[in-house]
Structure 1
Protein backbone atom coordinates (compact mmCIF):
# COMPACT_ATOMS: atom_id res chain seq x y z
CA UNK A 1 0.00 0.00 0.00
CA UNK A 2 1.38 3.42 -0.94
CA UNK A 3 1.81 6.25 1.55
CA UNK A 4 -1.04 8.11 -0.15
CA UNK A 5 -3.37 5.10 0.21
CA UNK A 6 -2.41 4.67 3.88
CA UNK A 7 -3.09 8.31 4.68
CA UNK A 8 -6.30 8.33 2.65
CA UNK A 9 -7.57 5.20 4.39
CA UNK A 10 -6.77 6.82 7.74
CA UNK A 11 -8.82 9.86 6.70
CA UNK A 12 -11.75 7.62 5.78
CA UNK A 13 -11.43 5.81 9.11
CA UNK A 14 -11.50 9.16 10.90
CA UNK A 15 -14.64 10.20 9.02
CA UNK A 16 -16.38 7.10 10.36
CA UNK A 17 -15.18 7.88 13.89
CA UNK A 18 -16.66 11.39 13.61
CA UNK A 19 -19.99 9.80 12.78
CA UNK A 20 -20.01 7.61 15.90
CA UNK A 21 -18.58 10.34 18.14
CA UNK A 22 -15.11 8.92 18.77
CA UNK A 23 -13.40 11.89 17.09
CA UNK A 24 -14.62 15.47 17.11
CA UNK A 25 -15.30 17.18 13.78
CA UNK A 26 -12.60 19.80 14.36
CA UNK A 27 -9.86 17.15 14.67
CA UNK A 28 -11.13 15.46 11.51
CA UNK A 29 -11.18 18.77 9.63
CA UNK A 30 -7.56 19.49 10.61
CA UNK A 31 -6.50 16.04 9.33
CA UNK A 32 -8.54 16.49 6.15
CA UNK A 33 -6.97 19.89 5.42
CA UNK A 34 -3.46 18.57 6.08
CA UNK A 35 -4.09 15.61 3.78
CA UNK A 36 -5.30 17.78 0.91
CA UNK A 37 -2.55 20.35 1.32
CA UNK A 38 -0.02 17.54 1.09
CA UNK A 39 -1.52 15.83 -1.96
CA UNK A 40 -3.21 18.70 -3.77
CA UNK A 41 -0.07 19.67 -5.64
CA UNK A 42 0.89 16.07 -6.46
CA UNK A 43 0.54 16.06 -10.25
CA UNK A 44 1.15 12.31 -10.46
CA UNK A 45 -2.12 11.51 -8.72
CA UNK A 46 -4.73 10.94 -11.44
CA UNK A 47 -8.30 11.94 -10.79
CA UNK A 48 -10.61 9.06 -9.97
CA UNK A 49 -12.91 8.11 -12.83
CA UNK A 50 -16.56 7.38 -12.00
CA UNK A 51 -19.61 6.48 -14.08
CA UNK A 52 -22.08 9.27 -14.81
CA UNK A 53 -24.62 7.86 -12.31
CA UNK A 54 -21.99 7.97 -9.53
CA UNK A 55 -21.05 11.55 -10.42
CA UNK A 56 -24.74 12.48 -10.14
CA UNK A 57 -24.95 10.82 -6.73
CA UNK A 58 -21.83 12.61 -5.49
CA UNK A 59 -23.28 15.94 -6.58
CA UNK A 60 -26.63 15.29 -4.90
CA UNK A 61 -25.25 14.22 -1.49
CA UNK A 62 -24.82 17.11 0.97
CA UNK A 63 -21.25 18.39 1.36
CA UNK A 64 -21.22 17.95 5.13
CA UNK A 65 -21.66 14.15 4.85
CA UNK A 66 -18.68 11.89 5.49
CA UNK A 67 -17.86 9.17 2.96
CA UNK A 68 -19.37 6.66 5.38
CA UNK A 69 -22.61 8.67 5.60
CA UNK A 70 -22.72 9.02 1.81
CA UNK A 71 -22.49 5.28 1.23
CA UNK A 72 -25.02 4.70 4.01
CA UNK A 73 -27.39 7.16 2.30
CA UNK A 74 -27.04 5.29 -1.00
CA UNK A 75 -27.85 2.03 0.77
CA UNK A 76 -30.90 3.63 2.40
CA UNK A 77 -32.14 5.03 -0.93
CA UNK A 78 -31.83 1.62 -2.62
CA UNK A 79 -33.84 -0.03 0.16
CA UNK A 80 -36.55 2.64 -0.04
CA UNK A 81 -39.65 2.46 -2.19
CA UNK A 82 -38.95 1.13 -5.71
CA UNK A 83 -39.90 4.39 -7.42
CA UNK A 84 -37.33 6.20 -5.27
CA UNK A 85 -34.41 3.87 -5.94
CA UNK A 86 -34.27 3.89 -9.74
CA UNK A 87 -31.52 6.53 -9.81
CA UNK A 88 -29.63 5.05 -6.87
CA UNK A 89 -29.62 1.36 -7.85
CA UNK A 90 -26.91 1.69 -10.56
CA UNK A 91 -24.73 3.57 -8.05
CA UNK A 92 -25.28 0.88 -5.41
CA UNK A 93 -24.55 -1.90 -7.93
CA UNK A 94 -21.32 -0.16 -9.00
CA UNK A 95 -20.23 0.17 -5.36
CA UNK A 96 -20.98 -3.53 -4.81
CA UNK A 97 -18.66 -4.56 -7.67
CA UNK A 98 -15.72 -4.38 -5.29
CA UNK A 99 -13.68 -2.50 -2.74
CA UNK A 100 -11.78 -0.68 -5.50
CA UNK A 101 -15.00 1.07 -6.57
CA UNK A 102 -15.77 1.93 -2.96
CA UNK A 103 -12.31 3.50 -2.59
CA UNK A 104 -12.76 5.40 -5.86
CA UNK A 105 -16.13 6.67 -4.64
CA UNK A 106 -14.72 7.74 -1.27
CA UNK A 107 -11.82 9.62 -2.89
CA UNK A 108 -14.09 11.32 -5.41
CA UNK A 109 -16.65 12.20 -2.74
CA UNK A 110 -14.17 13.52 -0.17
CA UNK A 111 -12.10 15.54 -2.64
CA UNK A 112 -14.95 16.55 -4.92
CA UNK A 113 -12.48 16.01 -7.76
CA UNK A 114 -13.12 13.30 -10.32
CA UNK A 115 -13.65 12.61 -13.99
CA UNK A 116 -16.83 11.18 -15.45
CA UNK A 117 -16.12 8.17 -17.61
CA UNK A 118 -17.21 8.37 -21.19
CA UNK A 119 -19.21 5.31 -22.18
CA UNK A 120 -18.10 3.31 -25.21
CA UNK A 121 -20.29 4.18 -28.18
CA UNK A 122 -21.32 1.80 -30.93
CA UNK A 123 -23.02 2.03 -34.26
CA UNK A 124 -25.22 -0.76 -35.55
CA UNK A 125 -24.27 -2.42 -38.84
CA UNK A 126 -27.09 -4.40 -40.42
CA UNK A 127 -25.65 -7.89 -40.98
CA UNK A 128 -27.98 -9.20 -43.71
CA UNK A 129 -28.08 -6.02 -45.79
CA UNK A 130 -24.30 -5.64 -45.57
CA UNK A 131 -23.70 -9.26 -46.61
CA UNK A 132 -25.97 -9.00 -49.64
CA UNK A 133 -24.44 -5.72 -50.86
CA UNK A 134 -21.03 -6.12 -52.52
CA UNK A 135 -20.08 -2.45 -52.20
CA UNK A 136 -21.74 -1.02 -49.08
CA UNK A 137 -22.09 -1.76 -45.39
CA UNK A 138 -25.46 -0.64 -44.05
CA UNK A 139 -25.74 1.18 -40.72
CA UNK A 140 -28.70 2.33 -38.68
CA UNK A 141 -29.00 6.10 -39.05
CA UNK A 142 -31.35 8.99 -38.40
CA UNK A 143 -33.01 10.44 -41.44
CA UNK A 144 -35.06 13.59 -41.71
CA UNK A 145 -37.50 14.14 -38.86
CA UNK A 146 -35.46 11.62 -36.80
CA UNK A 147 -36.93 8.68 -38.72
CA UNK A 148 -34.68 5.61 -38.50
CA UNK A 149 -33.22 4.61 -41.86
CA UNK A 150 -30.26 2.58 -43.13
CA UNK A 151 -27.23 4.49 -44.41
CA UNK A 152 -24.86 2.81 -46.87
CA UNK A 153 -21.12 3.33 -46.31
CA UNK A 154 -18.53 2.06 -48.79
CA UNK A 155 -17.01 -1.20 -47.53
CA UNK A 156 -13.60 -0.73 -45.93
CA UNK A 157 -14.51 2.75 -44.70
CA UNK A 158 -15.39 3.44 -41.09
CA UNK A 159 -18.73 5.14 -40.53
CA UNK A 160 -17.85 8.74 -39.64
CA UNK A 161 -21.02 10.43 -40.79
CA UNK A 162 -22.87 12.42 -38.18
CA UNK A 163 -26.21 10.85 -39.12
CA UNK A 164 -25.07 7.36 -38.09
CA UNK A 165 -26.61 6.53 -34.72
CA UNK A 166 -24.06 6.29 -31.95
CA UNK A 167 -25.44 4.39 -28.97
CA UNK A 168 -24.19 3.20 -25.60
CA UNK A 169 -24.29 -0.49 -24.70
CA UNK A 170 -27.12 0.28 -22.26
CA UNK A 171 -29.19 1.93 -25.02
CA UNK A 172 -28.58 -1.00 -27.34
CA UNK A 173 -29.50 -3.51 -24.63
CA UNK A 174 -32.85 -1.76 -24.20
CA UNK A 175 -33.63 -2.13 -27.92
CA UNK A 176 -34.61 -5.11 -30.02
CA UNK A 177 -31.76 -4.83 -32.48
CA UNK A 178 -32.35 -7.93 -34.59
CA UNK A 179 -29.66 -8.61 -37.20
CA UNK A 180 -27.15 -5.94 -36.28
CA UNK A 181 -23.46 -6.10 -35.46
CA UNK A 182 -22.03 -3.74 -32.85
CA UNK A 183 -19.22 -1.62 -34.28
CA UNK A 184 -17.22 0.39 -31.70
CA UNK A 185 -16.95 4.10 -32.44
CA UNK A 186 -13.66 5.82 -31.62
CA UNK A 187 -13.54 9.15 -29.79
CA UNK A 188 -14.14 12.08 -32.08
CA UNK A 189 -16.02 10.14 -34.76
Structure 2
Protein backbone atom coordinates (compact mmCIF):
# COMPACT_ATOMS: atom_id res chain seq x y z
CA UNK A 1 0.00 0.00 0.00
CA UNK A 2 1.37 3.40 -0.96
CA UNK A 3 1.78 6.25 1.44
CA UNK A 4 -1.06 8.06 -0.31
CA UNK A 5 -3.42 5.13 0.21
CA UNK A 6 -2.50 4.85 3.88
CA UNK A 7 -3.26 8.52 4.48
CA UNK A 8 -6.62 8.36 2.71
CA UNK A 9 -7.70 5.18 4.47
CA UNK A 10 -6.92 6.84 7.82
CA UNK A 11 -9.59 9.39 7.02
CA UNK A 12 -12.29 6.68 7.00
CA UNK A 13 -12.30 6.74 10.81
CA UNK A 14 -13.81 10.23 10.73
CA UNK A 15 -17.59 10.27 10.70
CA UNK A 16 -17.86 13.24 8.38
CA UNK A 17 -15.81 11.60 5.63
CA UNK A 18 -17.70 10.24 2.61
CA UNK A 19 -16.23 6.73 2.48
CA UNK A 20 -17.77 6.00 -0.90
CA UNK A 21 -16.22 9.10 -2.38
CA UNK A 22 -12.81 8.18 -0.95
CA UNK A 23 -13.13 4.69 -2.42
CA UNK A 24 -13.79 6.21 -5.84
CA UNK A 25 -10.76 8.46 -5.42
CA UNK A 26 -8.59 5.50 -4.42
CA UNK A 27 -9.88 3.52 -7.38
CA UNK A 28 -9.02 6.34 -9.79
CA UNK A 29 -5.79 7.54 -8.22
CA UNK A 30 -4.60 4.49 -6.31
CA UNK A 31 -1.47 4.21 -8.49
CA UNK A 32 -0.48 7.78 -7.81
CA UNK A 33 3.00 8.30 -6.38
CA UNK A 34 4.65 11.27 -4.80
CA UNK A 35 7.34 13.24 -6.62
CA UNK A 36 9.93 11.61 -4.39
CA UNK A 37 8.70 8.13 -5.29
CA UNK A 38 8.64 9.02 -8.99
CA UNK A 39 12.21 10.28 -8.70
CA UNK A 40 13.32 7.00 -7.13
CA UNK A 41 11.48 5.01 -9.79
CA UNK A 42 13.08 7.10 -12.54
CA UNK A 43 16.53 6.55 -11.05
CA UNK A 44 15.92 2.79 -10.90
CA UNK A 45 14.62 2.75 -14.46
CA UNK A 46 17.61 4.76 -15.60
CA UNK A 47 19.99 2.37 -13.85
CA UNK A 48 18.37 -0.62 -15.56
CA UNK A 49 18.47 1.15 -18.93
CA UNK A 50 22.15 1.99 -18.48
CA UNK A 51 22.97 -1.57 -17.40
CA UNK A 52 21.09 -2.94 -20.42
CA UNK A 53 22.95 -0.57 -22.76
CA UNK A 54 26.28 -1.59 -21.24
CA UNK A 55 25.39 -5.25 -21.70
CA UNK A 56 24.48 -4.65 -25.34
CA UNK A 57 27.75 -2.78 -25.87
CA UNK A 58 29.74 -5.62 -24.28
CA UNK A 59 27.98 -8.25 -26.39
CA UNK A 60 28.59 -6.19 -29.54
CA UNK A 61 32.27 -5.82 -28.69
CA UNK A 62 32.61 -9.55 -27.98
CA UNK A 63 30.92 -10.41 -31.26
CA UNK A 64 33.35 -8.12 -33.12
CA UNK A 65 36.36 -9.66 -31.35
CA UNK A 66 35.16 -13.18 -32.15
CA UNK A 67 34.69 -12.23 -35.80
CA UNK A 68 38.20 -10.74 -35.89
CA UNK A 69 39.72 -13.87 -34.32
CA UNK A 70 37.93 -16.09 -36.85
CA UNK A 71 39.21 -13.91 -39.66
CA UNK A 72 42.77 -14.07 -38.32
CA UNK A 73 42.60 -17.87 -38.03
CA UNK A 74 41.27 -18.15 -41.56
CA UNK A 75 44.02 -15.90 -42.89
CA UNK A 76 46.76 -17.67 -40.97
CA UNK A 77 48.59 -20.02 -43.32
CA UNK A 78 48.36 -23.67 -42.42
CA UNK A 79 51.66 -25.55 -42.17
CA UNK A 80 52.89 -27.02 -45.43
CA UNK A 81 53.89 -30.66 -45.10
CA UNK A 82 55.42 -33.08 -47.60
CA UNK A 83 53.08 -35.57 -49.19
CA UNK A 84 54.68 -38.46 -47.29
CA UNK A 85 53.94 -36.70 -43.96
CA UNK A 86 50.35 -35.99 -45.00
CA UNK A 87 49.89 -39.68 -45.78
CA UNK A 88 51.06 -40.63 -42.28
CA UNK A 89 48.79 -38.07 -40.60
CA UNK A 90 45.79 -39.41 -42.48
CA UNK A 91 46.79 -42.98 -41.72
CA UNK A 92 46.71 -42.21 -38.00
CA UNK A 93 43.44 -40.28 -38.31
CA UNK A 94 41.87 -43.26 -40.05
CA UNK A 95 42.92 -45.51 -37.15
CA UNK A 96 45.33 -47.45 -39.35
CA UNK A 97 48.22 -46.62 -37.07
CA UNK A 98 49.34 -44.59 -34.08
CA UNK A 99 51.92 -41.88 -33.63
CA UNK A 100 54.18 -44.43 -31.96
CA UNK A 101 54.28 -46.41 -35.22
CA UNK A 102 55.61 -43.52 -37.27
CA UNK A 103 59.21 -44.41 -36.57
CA UNK A 104 59.77 -41.23 -34.60
CA UNK A 105 61.52 -42.91 -31.72
CA UNK A 106 64.25 -44.71 -33.68
CA UNK A 107 67.55 -43.58 -32.19
CA UNK A 108 69.32 -43.80 -35.55
CA UNK A 109 68.30 -40.66 -37.45
CA UNK A 110 69.81 -41.78 -40.75
CA UNK A 111 67.72 -44.97 -40.80
CA UNK A 112 64.44 -43.14 -40.25
CA UNK A 113 62.05 -42.81 -43.19
CA UNK A 114 61.89 -39.37 -44.82
CA UNK A 115 58.58 -38.46 -43.16
CA UNK A 116 59.97 -39.30 -39.71
CA UNK A 117 63.02 -37.10 -40.33
CA UNK A 118 60.78 -34.24 -41.40
CA UNK A 119 58.58 -34.62 -38.33
CA UNK A 120 61.57 -34.63 -36.01
CA UNK A 121 62.97 -31.50 -37.68
CA UNK A 122 59.60 -29.72 -37.74
CA UNK A 123 57.82 -30.96 -34.64
CA UNK A 124 55.86 -27.72 -34.01
CA UNK A 125 54.51 -27.61 -37.57
CA UNK A 126 53.65 -31.30 -37.28
CA UNK A 127 51.60 -30.77 -34.10
CA UNK A 128 49.69 -27.88 -35.72
CA UNK A 129 49.09 -29.98 -38.83
CA UNK A 130 47.64 -32.81 -36.72
CA UNK A 131 45.39 -30.59 -34.59
CA UNK A 132 44.36 -27.77 -36.93
CA UNK A 133 45.08 -28.79 -40.50
CA UNK A 134 47.69 -28.56 -43.21
CA UNK A 135 48.35 -28.10 -46.89
CA UNK A 136 50.36 -30.58 -48.89
CA UNK A 137 53.65 -29.39 -50.30
CA UNK A 138 53.71 -29.44 -54.07
CA UNK A 139 56.98 -30.97 -55.22
CA UNK A 140 59.13 -29.15 -57.72
CA UNK A 141 58.56 -30.49 -61.21
CA UNK A 142 61.00 -30.65 -64.11
CA UNK A 143 60.89 -30.99 -67.85
CA UNK A 144 63.42 -33.34 -69.43
CA UNK A 145 64.48 -32.05 -72.82
CA UNK A 146 66.46 -34.48 -74.92
CA UNK A 147 69.68 -32.65 -75.76
CA UNK A 148 70.78 -34.31 -79.02
CA UNK A 149 67.34 -34.79 -80.63
CA UNK A 150 66.39 -31.20 -79.83
CA UNK A 151 69.59 -29.93 -81.44
CA UNK A 152 68.94 -31.90 -84.62
CA UNK A 153 65.42 -30.52 -84.94
CA UNK A 154 65.37 -26.89 -86.05
CA UNK A 155 61.66 -26.39 -85.35
CA UNK A 156 60.77 -28.42 -82.25
CA UNK A 157 62.34 -29.55 -79.01
CA UNK A 158 61.71 -33.07 -77.79
CA UNK A 159 60.72 -33.70 -74.20
CA UNK A 160 60.42 -36.92 -72.29
CA UNK A 161 56.79 -37.89 -72.02
CA UNK A 162 54.94 -40.35 -69.79
CA UNK A 163 51.61 -41.91 -70.60
CA UNK A 164 49.14 -40.97 -67.88
CA UNK A 165 46.37 -43.48 -68.57
CA UNK A 166 46.34 -47.28 -68.70
CA UNK A 167 49.44 -47.72 -70.86
CA UNK A 168 51.78 -48.91 -68.11
CA UNK A 169 54.57 -51.44 -67.96
CA UNK A 170 54.18 -54.79 -66.25
CA UNK A 171 55.62 -53.29 -63.08
CA UNK A 172 53.04 -50.51 -63.11
CA UNK A 173 55.44 -47.81 -64.30
CA UNK A 174 54.57 -45.25 -66.96
CA UNK A 175 55.68 -46.06 -70.48
CA UNK A 176 57.92 -43.31 -71.78
CA UNK A 177 58.12 -41.65 -75.17
CA UNK A 178 58.77 -38.15 -76.44
CA UNK A 179 56.57 -35.15 -77.08
CA UNK A 180 57.47 -32.38 -79.50
CA UNK A 181 57.02 -28.74 -78.60
CA UNK A 182 57.88 -25.67 -80.65
CA UNK A 183 61.16 -24.00 -79.82
CA UNK A 184 60.73 -21.72 -76.84
CA UNK A 185 57.51 -23.44 -75.80
CA UNK A 186 56.97 -26.13 -73.17
CA UNK A 187 54.72 -29.19 -73.42
CA UNK A 188 51.78 -29.83 -71.06
CA UNK A 189 52.81 -30.44 -67.46
CA UNK A 190 50.34 -33.25 -66.82
CA UNK A 191 52.36 -35.78 -68.83
CA UNK A 192 55.74 -34.14 -69.44
CA UNK A 193 56.67 -32.97 -65.93
CA UNK A 194 58.58 -35.20 -63.50
CA UNK A 195 59.42 -34.99 -59.83
CA UNK A 196 63.01 -35.22 -58.67
CA UNK A 197 62.24 -38.61 -57.18
CA UNK A 198 61.02 -39.87 -60.55
CA UNK A 199 64.09 -38.46 -62.28
CA UNK A 200 66.44 -40.10 -59.78
CA UNK A 201 64.91 -43.48 -60.61
CA UNK A 202 65.71 -43.11 -64.34
CA UNK A 203 68.80 -42.70 -66.47
CA UNK A 204 68.56 -39.12 -67.67
CA UNK A 205 72.13 -38.32 -68.66
CA UNK A 206 71.09 -37.33 -72.20
CA UNK A 207 68.41 -34.90 -70.99
CA UNK A 208 68.50 -31.30 -69.89
CA UNK A 209 66.58 -30.84 -66.65
CA UNK A 210 64.42 -27.68 -66.72
CA UNK A 211 62.41 -26.44 -63.72
CA UNK A 212 58.67 -26.11 -64.27
CA UNK A 213 57.44 -22.70 -63.13
CA UNK A 214 54.87 -22.95 -60.33
Q: Under a length normalisation based on structure 2, what TM-score does the superposition of the two structures give? A: 0.52
The 1:39/1:174 distance shift into structure 2, 3 A limit, reads farther
Partner Cα distance (2:136, 2:87) in 1: 10
Measured after TM superposition, the shift of residue 128 of structure 1 is: 1.4
Partner of 1:166: 193
The one of the two structures with greater contact order (alpha-carbon pairs below 8 A, sep at least 6) is 1
- Give the secondary-structure state (helix, strand or coil) at the position aligned to 2:180: strand
Q: Under a length normalisation based on structure 1, what TM-score does the superposition of the two structures give? A: 0.58
Structure number with larger C-alpha Rg: 2
- Give the secondary-structure state (helix, strand or coil) at the position aligned to 1:74: coil
Partner of 1:94: 118
The 1:39/1:51 distance shift into structure 2, 3 A limit, reads farther
- Give the secondary-structure state (helix, strand or coil) at the position aligned to 2:177: strand
The 1:174/1:39 distance shift into structure 2, 3 A limit, reads farther
Partner Cα distance (1:110, 1:92) in 2: 18
- Cα deviation, 1:40-65, whole Å, max 9, x if unaligned, reads 6523311111011111111222599x
* Native 8 Å contact 2:88 2:102 kept in 1: no
* Native 8 Å contact 2:193 2:212 kept in 1: yes
Partner Cα distance (1:39, 1:107) in 2: 17
Partner of 1:9: none
Is 2:145 aligned against 1:125?
yes
- Cα deviation, 1:108-136, whole Å, max 9, x if unaligned, reads 1122x111111122221001111222221
Measured after TM superposition, the shift of residue 150 of structure 1 is: 2.0
Supply the RMSD in Å over aligned alpha carbons. 3.4
Partner of 2:210: 183
Partner Cα distance (1:171, 1:184) in 2: 14
Measured after TM superposition, the shift of residue 178 of structure 1 is: 2.1
Partner Cα distance (1:53, 1:161) in 2: 22
Measured after TM superposition, the shift of residue 159 of structure 1 is: 1.6
Measured after TM superposition, the shift of residue 71 of structure 1 is: 6.9
Partner Cα distance (2:127, 2:101) in 1: 12
Aligned with 2:126 (options 105, 108, 116): 105
Partner Cα distance (1:140, 1:125) in 2: 6
